[in-house]
Amino acid sequence: MGLLSKILRTGIVTEPLPAGNSEVVHLIRDIDEESRRLFGRALGIREVDAGSCNGCEVEITGLMSPVYDSERFGFHFVATPRHADLLLVTGPVTRNMEVPLRKTYDATPAPKLVVAVGDCARSCGVFAGSYAVVGSVDRVIPVDVFVDGCPPEPEHILQGILTALRSGRA
Amino acid sequence: MRALFFLMVTGYATGAAASLVLGTGPLARWASTLAAVVGAAGGLGLAAGVCMGGAVFSLAAPDLLASAGGLAFSLDGLGAVFLALTSLVAAPSALYGAGYARAWDGRPMQRQAGFMLNMFLLSMSLVPLADGTLTFLLCWEGMSLSSYFLVMTEADHPEVAGAGQWYLGMTQMGLACLLGAFLLIAAGGPATFAQLRAAAALLPAGTRDLVFVLAVVGFGGKAGLIPLHVWLPRAHPAAPSHVSALMSGSMIKMGVYGLLRIGLDVLGGGPAWWGALVIGLGALSAVLGVLYALTEDDLKRLLAYSSVENVGVIALGVGAAYLFQSLQMLPAAAFALAAALFHAVNHAAFKGLLFMGAGAVLHATGTRNMNRLGGLIRGMPWTAALFLLGSVAIAGLPPLNGFVSEWLLFQALLPGIGAPSPLVAVLMVLALGMLALTAGLAAACFVKAFGITFLAIPRSPEAAAAHETAWSMRAGMIVLAAACLVLSAGSFAILPRLSAVAAPLVGLPAPGPVLRAGLTIQTPDGLAQMSPVIVGAGLGVVVLVAWLAVKGFASRRPLRVGETWGCGRVVQTPRMEYTSTAFAEPLRRIFAEFYRPTEDVSIDFHPDSRYFVHSISYRSAILPWFERYLYAPVIARTRLWSERVLALQSGSVHAYLAYLVAALVLLLGWLVATGRR
Amino acid sequence: MRPWLLGPVQAAVALLLAPGLVGAIRWMKARLQSRAGSPPWQPYLELRKLFAKEVVVSSNASWLFRAAPFIVFGSTVTVTLLVPLLAVPLPFGGAGDLLVVVYLLLLGTFFLALAGLDPGSPFGGMGASREMTVAALAEPTMALAIFALAWGAGSTNLGQIALRTLSMPSEALAPGHVLAFAAIFLVTLAETGRLPVDNPSTHLELTMIHEAMILEYSGRYLALIEWAAALKLLVFFSLLGNLFAPWGVASVITPGALLWAAGTLALKLLALGGVIALVETHIAKLRLFRVPELLSASFILALLAVTASFLLR
C-alpha cells in the first residue's frame, strides 16, 4: 500500500508536450508523425555499444526514463536485432566490436535505419588514432544520421532518430 | 476364423523356417519378412473378427502335448485387443527389420535373428489366445526366451551381455511368480481358464490376495512397472530397434493383459486395496518413469523409460477399474478399463514408431547419445517428420491419439472423486494430479527427444553426414504413423468396441457404457464430450486460413537467410548449443531430492598459470535408487549363497556319485512318505 | 444468425481484442510507473509494422521454424472457437472441453519450444528448456483446478460449467470455486509469461523464458507469435472471467445479446488486466528456481479446491 500511495502522490512525471513554440515540442510532434508514416508508429530500437565510454548509454537510458518516456511515441528497445527497425550505435568502433556490429546490421530485417550517437561515433573523439580502434561507425556499416555531442542530450538523440526517419531511406 | 488363425500361425512358422533354410542373404531376409507380414495380417484379421463379431473363437489341440492335457486356444474380446495391438506392430516391425537387418547379411546372426523374430511374433500372438495354464505358460516362456535371444543378437557388445543377464533374471523371476499363482488357484496342475475361474471362486480370501500379489509381481515385471522395471532400460537399447519396438509396443502390454486376465477374468476382481495397489504402482511408474526419461541422454533408453511411464499410465486406468468394480461403480469401471485398453493400443502405435525412428537414427549415425546428434531433420527429413508425429502423439497433444486416451483416462478417474470413501477420493485426486504432471513432463521430455536429436546444428561429424534410411524401414514407420492418425480420427468408432470388451470383465452386460455420440466421444454419463476429428479439422482449417491470409496480406518481401543471432559472436559452433543434458537441467535441479545428482568437475590447468586451462571435464550421474537399495542387496546375498554352494563342487567324481545317491535316497524316501507309487 | 457462425465471430472478436488487452496492461503499468506510456492501441501498430517487414531466417533453421508460428497461432485461435467468450452453449462446444483447451495451448508451447531449439542458438535452447519446465509444472495445478470446477458442474464441458454458475449464483463464492480461481490465476501468470515468473519487457537474455525462444523470429512470423501470445492471455483471462463469473455471457444468440456479451467481456478483461498491472508493479521477478515454489503453492490451492468441492458438496 505504501507503494501505491507513493505512486498516487507522484503522479505522471513525463514532461508533457507544452503548447509553447520550443524546438523540442516541434521535434517531438514531428517524430510522432514521421514514425507513424514509416513504421506505423512502432519502432523497435536495438542499441549497440561499439566501444563507447558509456556516457552516451547514460543519456540513452534517459530516453526510457519516466521523464522522456520514449515509449509514448511507440519506441521501444528490443532484445535482438531481429525485432529491431533502428540501430542506435555508440562509441568509436573498436577492433573487437567491428565484426559484432556488422553482424548486428546483417541480422536486422529491412527496412532498417542506423543512428550513430555521440562524437566518438563520428570522429572517434579522444580515442582517435588508438591501436584498438577501427574508426567511425560509417566505416563499418551505413549510417543514416550522426548525433553530435559528448554525450548528446536525450532531446538530440530523439532529433537524430527523427532525422533518420525523415531521410526515408527505409 | 480358423483360416485366419492358421494363416497367422503358418505365416510366422514359415517365416521362421525360411530364415533357417534359405541362408543368410537377402532372399532369406525378405522371405521371412513377407511371411511375417502375412502372419500379422492373419492375426489382425482374427482379432478384428472377434472384436467386431463379438463371438469367441476357440480351438483345442488335445493331441499336442497330450500327456500334459493338450493345448487349447480361444480368443475373447480382451485377448483380441491384445492380439490386435501385437499384430499392429508386428507387420511394420517385420518390414522395418528387413531393412535394418541388411547389415547382418552373410553373418550367422542373420539366421538367428530372422528365426527368433518370427518365433517371438508367433509366441507373443499366441499369449492372448492361450486358454489354459499350460498353453499360456508355454507361449509366455516362448515369448520371453525368443525376445531374450533377440536382445542378444549383437552380443559382441559388452553392454548387451549385461542387459541380457538382467532381462533373463527378471523374466524367470516373473515366471516363478506366475507358476506360483497358477498352482495356488488350481493345485491339480494344468487347467483351462474356465476351470481356473471355477476354482478361483472357491478360494479363501487370503489365497486370492496372494494370487493377485503374485500376478502383480509376475506380470508387473513383464510390463515394466516400477520397481520391477530395471530390465527395461537395459534390454530395450541393446535390442535391434524393430525388436525394441515390438518389446515396448507389444510385449510389455502382455503384462497388462495377464494382470487383467488373472485379476478380473479368473479372480473376478477383489477388494478395494487391489485397485489401490495397482493405482499406486501406476502413479509411481508414470511419474518416476518420465522423470528418468527426462534426464536420459541415450535416445533409446529415454524411449524405454517413457515406456515405463506409459505402462504406469495404463496401470492407473486398470487400477481404477479394479477399484471402481470393488465399489460397485460398474459403468465407471468399464469406462476406466476401456480407456486403459485404448491407451495400450495407442502406445503400441506411437512407441513402435518412435523406436523405429530411434533405430533409423542409430543406423545413420552410429550413436544413440543425443549429445552427439542434432540437425538430422535435413539429412533425414522422412524420419524426422515421422518421429515428430510420434512425439506429438506420445506427449498427449491434440489432435493425435495419445491425447484421446489421456483425455479418456482423466475423465475415467474423475468419478473417483465422488467415491463414498474419502480415502478413495483423496487417492483419486492425487492420481489425477500425478497423471497431469506426467503429461506435462512427457511434453518436456519429447521436446527434448525430438528437438535435440533432429533440430539445430549437428553436434558430431556422424550426425552431419547422416542419410535417410532405406524405404523398407521408412515404410514400417509410415504404417505406424498412419495408425496413430487412424486411431485418433477413428476413436469414436473404436471406443464402443473397447467398451463392449471391458463391460463383461467388470460384470456389466455388453455393450457396456455408451462412449460415442456421432463423431464425438463422450463419458458414460454423457456430460463431457470431445471430438479429435473436429478439433483436428478445426486446427487444420485455422492454420490454412492463417497461412493464406499471411500469404495474401503480409509483406511480399522475399525471405532472407542469415546467421543465427548470437550477440555478434564470430563463429557459431555446435558446442554453443543447448544439449540434452542442459535441456533437462532445470528439472533435474527442481527434482534434485529425487535424482540426488552427483557432479564431478575436474579442471586441468596450464602448468604456468591457473588463468589458462587445458581441459575441463564434467561428469554427472543420478542416483539409481532401485538398483542400489533394492536389487544390489539381493544380488549380493545371492552371490554369497552361490559361493557357499560352490564349495560342494569339489571336482571329485566320488563326491558327485555320493550326491547322486543321496538325492535318490531322499526322493525315494519322499515318495514312500507321501504314499505315492 | 446461424449458430455455427458463432465460432468464427468469437475468434474474430478475440483476435481483435487481444492486442488491445496487452496494450491496456502496458498502458496501466506505465501509468503506475508515473510514465505517460504508449497508447493502449500500440500493439496493433506493432503488429501492422511486423507484417510489413522483411523476414530473416537463420541458415540453421529447418521447415519447422517456419511452420511453428502458424501452428502456435492456429492452436490458439482454435481454442477461441471452444471457450465461451460470448455465448453458451457454443456450436462447437461438444468438440472440446476444458482439457482440450489446456492441451491445445500446450501444443502451441510444444512447437514454440521446438522452434526455439531449431536455429541452434543458445538462447533459444535456454528458453525452450525453461518454458517446458514451467509448462510441465503448471500442468497438475491446471488439471486439478479444472476438476474442482468439473466436480461441481458434473462435467468438464465449458458451457456446462458456465451454465451451472449462472443457474446457481451462490456457487460463485463457494470455497472450491474461489480456491480454483486463485490456482488458475497463478497458472495464468506462469503460462502467459507474466511477473513474477517471466518479465514480458525484459531485454536481458539470461533472465528470459518466453522471449528467449522467439529471439530469432522477425517480420510476419514474429507478428503471428506475438498475436498468439496476446490471444493466449485473453483466453486465460476469459476462462477466469467467464467460468467463474459468467454474467453477461449470451445464452440466446441475438446481435444485441452478443454485443452486450462482448462489452462485459471487455470489462472483465480490463479488470483482470488491471490486477496484473498492479501485481507487476508491486513484485519483482522470481529467480527461476524459486518458480517451482510458486507453482507448488498453486498446486496446493488446486488440491484444496478439489477437496473443498467434494467435502462441502
Nearest to B456 among C75, C100, C120 (CB): C120
Please report which helix (H) or strand (E) contains residue A91, including its range: none
| Predicted pLDDT at B628 | 85
The answer to whether ipTM exceeds 0.90 is yes
CB contact under 8 A, B451 and C292: no
Q: Report CB contact under 8 Å: A111, C54.
A: yes
Of A130-134, A158-162, B415-419, the range with the highest mean pLDDT is: A130-134
Interchain pair A82, B565: CB under 8 A? yes
Residue C34 Cα, gap to closest chain B Cα (Å): 32
**Measured between CA atoms, how close is B574 to chain A, in angstroms?**
19
Residue B357 predicted with pLDDT over 50: yes
B positions 545-584 inside 8 Å of A (CB): 557, 560, 562-563, 565, 567-570
Is residue C95 less than 8 Å (CB to CB) from chain B?
yes
SS3 assignment, position B598: strand
Distance of CA C161 to the CA centre of its chain: 18
Where would I find the H helices in B597-631? 625-626
Share of chain B above pLDDT 70, in %: 99
Q: Round to whole Å and give the CA distance between B629 and A121.
A: 67
Residue with more model confidence, B176 or B191: B176
Mean pLDDT of the region A55-83: 88
Least confident of B333-347, B356-370, C187-201: C187-201
B415–chain C Cβ distance below 8 A for any pair = no
Compare all CA atoms of chain B with the CA of C8 and give the residue at the minimum distance: B542
Which residues from chain B sit within 8 angstroms of residue A106, using beta carbons? 562-563
Task: Kindly indicate the confidence band of residue B675, based on its pLDDT and cuts at 50, 70 and 90.
Answer: low
Residues of chain C with pLDDT under 50: none
Nearest CA in chain C to B569: C121
* Residues B201-227, mean pLDDT to the nearest whole number: 91
Residue A169 confidence (pLDDT) above 60: no
The pLDDT of residue B104 is 84
The confidence score (pLDDT) of residue B34 equals 92
CB contact under 8 A, A100 and B562: no
Asked if residue A40 has pLDDT above 80, the reply is: no
- More confidently predicted of B652 and C186: C186
Residue B158 confidence class, pLDDT cut points 50, 70, 90: confident
Mean pLDDT of B227-240: 89
The shortest CB-CB distance from B568 to any of A104, A109, A110 is to A104
Mean pLDDT of B361-383: 92
Instruction: Give the confidence band of B286 by pLDDT, cuts at 50, 70, 90.
Output: very high
- The enclosing H or E element of C65 equals helix C63-82
* Contact with chain B for residue A159, Cβ under 8 A: no
Asked whether B262 and B91 are in contact (CB, 8 A), the reply is no
> What's the confidence (pLDDT) of residue B52?
81
Q: Residue A107: name the closest of B536, B298, C219 by CA.
A: C219
Lowest mean pLDDT among A17-26, A93-102, B578-587: A17-26
Q: B560 and A104: CB-CB below 8 Å?
A: no
Q: Which residues of C touch A11 (CB under 8 A)?
A: 34
pLDDT in tens, B659-671: 888 888 888 887 7
The answer to whether B78 touches B501, Cβ cutoff 8 Å, is: yes
Name the residue in chain C with its Cα closest to that of B538. Answer: C78
Mean pLDDT, to the nearest integer, of B457-479? 91
Pairing mode of beta strands A86-90, B613-621: unpaired
The average pLDDT across B147-167 equals 85
Nearest CA in chain B to C70: B543
DSSP of B244-276:
HHHIIIIIHHHHHHHHHIIIIIIS----HHHHH
Which pLDDT score, from 0 to 100, does residue A170 have? 45
* B329-343, B503-517, C264-278: the lowest-pLDDT one: B503-517
Outline where B458-607 has alpha helix (H).
Answer: 461-464, 471-489, 491-506, 532-553, 580-590, 592-595
pLDDT at A29: 67
DSSP conformation letters of A102-168: HHHHHHSPSS-EEEEESHHHHH-GGGTT-TTEEE-GGGTS--SEEE-SSSPPHHHHHHHHHHHHHH-
B456 touching chain C per CB within 8 A = yes
Task: Give the pLDDT score at A18.
Answer: 52
Contact call for B557 and A110, based on CB within 8 A: yes
Q: Mean pLDDT across the stretch B39-49?
A: 91
Q: Quick check: A141 contacting B, CB < 8 Å?
A: no
Q: Which of B543, B545, B589 to mutate to test the interface with C (most CBs of C within 10 A)?
A: B543
Whether chain B has a CB inside 8 Å of the CB on C211: the answer is no
Q: How far is CA A151 from the centre of its chain?
A: 12
Residue with cell 596450464: B606
In this model, does residue A78 exceed pLDDT 70? yes
pLDDT at position A67: 83
> For residues B349 and B88, is the Cβ–Cβ distance under 8 A?
yes
* Set of chain B residues whose Cβ sits within 8 Å of the Cβ of C296: none
At which residue does the C-alpha cell 517456419 appear? Answer: C66
Q: What average pLDDT does chain B have?
A: 89
Neighbours of C, requiring at least 3 CB pairs below 8 Å, are A, B
The average confidence (pLDDT) of chain A is 84
Contact state of A100 with B563 under an 8 Å Cβ cutoff: no
pLDDT the model gives residue B593: 86
d(CA C115, nearest CA chain B) in Å? 8
Residues 142-201 of B with CB under 8 A from C: none
What is the average pLDDT across B629-650?
A: 84
Q: Is B603 within 8 Å of chain C by CB?
A: no
Cβ of A132 under 8 Å from any chain C Cβ? Answer: no
Beta carbons of B2 and B73 less than 8 angstroms apart: no
Instruction: Report the pLDDT value the prediction gives residue B405, as an integer from 0 to 100.
Output: 93
Q: Read off the pTM.
A: 0.93
Using CA coordinates, name the residue in chain A closest to C211.
A79
